[in-house]
């Protein structure tokens, strides 16, 4: 933090000197324009006019030859995408890029919204992201991810109860879509943290809400992961020619419905800034343990096959984890209400 004294020039003009290192960083000279914007808390934000006109293109270069471990290149691409980098240049010191590296690039592109190949040669690939942040308001992404994960949750439970292989496979396929939305949300949050004007366009009025939004995004993405886990358990049960009996299925459905109600209530509380609704969700979540205990009790007394018994335990555990994610959403809803009530 740097302190500057306000100076009076003439009778009515107050001036403030700019830090020399900041002026040099932005290559400012006499006559250049500086924009001054008042924030909601009364503070002033000072920025060069050229910076406000548009975010500078951020480029990151990756030497793919150093990505020797499987999926290393894919994960670097996802990381750069989340960090908001516009252009990513991939190069190889050899005459051609290894086929496995090219496959990882194309696999990553299927997961990252707006990222495309703009140049390609035998030993060089240039990727560019064409997303306009303003077209993806953060709250719209929250609603979309919530709708997707809620459907994945209900479908995965129906698949395991009814031994529906097609429904289970559908849930597993949709997990990739959930990841796409999640990574896009993280990218939006990083951009918002770096550019206050972009934050407002995205729908983030106060930067202190960004940490809570990251928790919301992660909680919803984790619900997708748990739903995928239930779908995989369904496939394992069917591969072993096993089936959950009606008494246990009924309890699993009751458990799932209770968790789903808490999940929906918590998200609604967050969107509406409703602390009472959030508190209801938290109170209901504390009663969830009785469902898991009852399922385990009935299963251990009626299920003879150890593989099926373990599968039932895992389904109950996944539903318990979804409830924990919903609990996090409810807590963030209360925090968000308190922050805005200030």
Q: Is the pLDDT of residue 206 over 80?
A: no
- What pLDDT is attached to residue 51? 55
Q: Is the pLDDT of residue 124 over 80?
A: yes
CATH no., domain 136-341: 1.20.58.220
**What's the farthest any 2 CA atoms get from each other in the chain?**
92
Q: Is the pLDDT of residue 56 over 60?
A: no
**Domain extents in the chain:** 7-53, 59-129, 136-341
Q: Which CATH class is domain 7-53?
A: mainly beta
Closest of 142, 160, 290 to residue 202, by C-alpha: 142
C-alpha pair distances (Å), 171 with each of 65, 148, 167: 35, 10, 6
CA distance 157 to 124: 45
Q: For residue range 294-316, what is the model confidence (pLDDT) as tens digits?
A: 999 999 998 899 999 999 999 99
Buried/exposed code over 88-118 (b: 16+ C-beta within 10 A; e: otherwise): bebbbeeeebeeebbebbeebbebbbebeee
CA distance 330 to 267: 7
- Token pair 């006499």 is found at 30
Q: For residue range 235-248, what is the model confidence (pLDDT) as tens digits?
A: 999 999 999 999 99
The structure tokens listed for 65 are 């030859």
- What pLDDT is attached to residue 333? 96
Percentage of the chain modeled with pLDDT above 90: 70
Segment 84-90 mean pLDDT? 93
CA distance 178 to 182: 6
Q: Is 59-129 a domain of CATH 3.30.110?
A: yes
- What pLDDT is attached to residue 329? 96
23 versus 227: the higher-pLDDT residue is 227
User: How many C-beta atoms surround the C-beta of residue 274 within 10 A?
Assistant: 17
The structure tokens listed for 63 are 């030497």
What contacts 122, CB < 8 A, 6 or more positions away?
95, 96, 97
4 versus 289: the higher-pLDDT residue is 289
C-beta separation of 224 from 309 below 8 A: no
What contacts 66, CB < 8 A, 6 or more positions away?
none
């Amino acid at each position: 933090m740097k302190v500057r004294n306000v100076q009076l020039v003439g009778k009515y003009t107050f001036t403030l000197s700019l830090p020399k290192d900041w002026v040099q960083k932005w290559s400012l000279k006499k006559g250049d324009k500086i924009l001054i914007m008042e924030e909601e808390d009364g503070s002033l934000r000072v920025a060069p006019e050229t910076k406000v006109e548009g975010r500078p293109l951020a480029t990151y270069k990756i030497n793919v030859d150093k990505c020797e471990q499987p999926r290393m290149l894919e994960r670097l691409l996802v990381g750069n995408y989340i960090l908001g980098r516009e252009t990513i240049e991939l190069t190889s010191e050899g005459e051609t890029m290894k086929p496995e590296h090219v496959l990882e690039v194309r696999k990553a592109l299927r997961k990252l919204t707006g990222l495309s190949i703009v140049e390609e040669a035998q030993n060089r690939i240039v990727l560019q992201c064409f997303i306009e942040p303003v077209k993806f308001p953060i709250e719209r992404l929250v609603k979309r991810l919530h709708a997707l994960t809620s459907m994945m949750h209900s479908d995965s439970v129906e698949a395991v109860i009814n031994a529906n292989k097609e429904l289970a496979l559908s849930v597993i396929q949709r997990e990739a879509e959930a990841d796409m939305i999640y990574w896009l949300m993280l990218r939006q949050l990083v951009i918002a943290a770096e550019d206050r004007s972009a934050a407002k366009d995205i729908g983030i009025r106060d930067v202190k809400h960004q940490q809570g939004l990251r928790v919301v995004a992660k909680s919803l993405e984790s619900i997708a992961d748990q739903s995928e886990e239930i779908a995989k358990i369904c496939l394992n049960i069917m591969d072993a020619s096993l089936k959950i009996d009606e008494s246990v299925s009924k309890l699993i459905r009751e458990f799932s419905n209770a968790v789903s109600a808490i999940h929906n209530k918590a998200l609604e509380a967050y969107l509406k800034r409703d602390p009472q609704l959030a508190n209801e969700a938290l109170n209901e979540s504390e009663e969830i343990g009785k469902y898991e205990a009852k399922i385990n009790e009935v299963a251990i007394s009626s299920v003879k096959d150890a593989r099926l018994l373990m599968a039932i335990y895992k389904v109950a555990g996944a539903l318990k984890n979804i409830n924990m994610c919903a609990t996090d959403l409810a807590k963030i809803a209360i925090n968000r209400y308190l922050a805005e009530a200030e």
